[in-house]
Homo-oligomer: A and B are copies of this chain.
């Protein structure tokens, strides 16, 4: 059944030089994220972007370049926005702020977009040291810095004891991340599932307990016996 011709039918394709790069980067993120860089073909990416492979080469010189460009465009996708809202609604303690932050962090880490990004980064890091370094500096360290500022404020207010806030912040992130990664990537078949609320509660309790200043000193004299 032939299409009625000369019927002002939509063109088979449109020229879209302004939006193509973004379009391709988005498709690349989806495809690379799900199948992995080497499993995904450029035809896959092109199909996901609604174009053909040749077009990709008009905007990106190679598959590797497309990949690193995608990474660069997603620097902010690896870490959730941690608002260091200076003011806040008055009487909110850093403690409370960390609680909500914890839940938000965990949810973010469980999102498919984050997990895809994490997987991609871990997989390809050795092959793209420069892009990885950029991502690490601009994305990860940056976000960690923001979280550290929240903790720093708690220390300054006397709520928390003195601790290197950078290290504490990363430790906090690490606790949530291991649950998200374990369940999202490894236990994808819901092996040993643990409810979100339980994870968030326990992790936050541990962290706060370890940081609160109320106890005289967590360790009697430094890192306790056995740590040499």
Contact = CB atoms under 8 A, between A and B. Distances in A.
Q: Which of A132, A174, A207 has the most chain B CB atoms inside 10 A of its CB?
A: A174
Nearest to A39: B38
A126 B34 CA distance: 8
Contacts of A202: 163-164, 167-168, 171
Given A178-B171, A186-B136, A194-B167, A218 B223 contact: no
A112 B171 CA distance: 21
A164 B195 CA distance: 13
B206 A207 contact: yes
A185 interface: yes
> Assembly of this chain: how many copies?
2
Interface string A110-153: 00000000110111011101001101110011000000000000
A169 to B, nearest CB: 10
B171 A225 contact: no
Nearest to A184: B125
Interface residues of A, number: 76
Contact of A212 (B188, B198, B218): B218
Contacts of A167: 194, 198-199, 202-203
Nearest to A187: B136
Contacts of A132: 186, 188
Given A100-B226, A182-B140, A227-B103, A219 B206 contact: no
Nearest to A130: B189
Nearest to A218: B209
9 smallest beta-carbon distances between A and B, as pairs: A174-B178, A206-B210, A209-B210, A96-B226, A38-B38, A210-B210, A123-B123, A209-B218, A99-B226
7 contacts: A99-B227, A123-B123, A125-B186, A141-B192, A168-B206, A174-B177, A215-B215
Given A119-B126, A136-B182, A205-B219, 15 more contacts: A39-B127, A95-B224, A102-B227, A122-B122, A135-B186, A140-B182, A164-B202, A167-B203, A171-B202, A175-B175, A201-B222, A205-B218, A209-B211, A209-B212, A210-B210
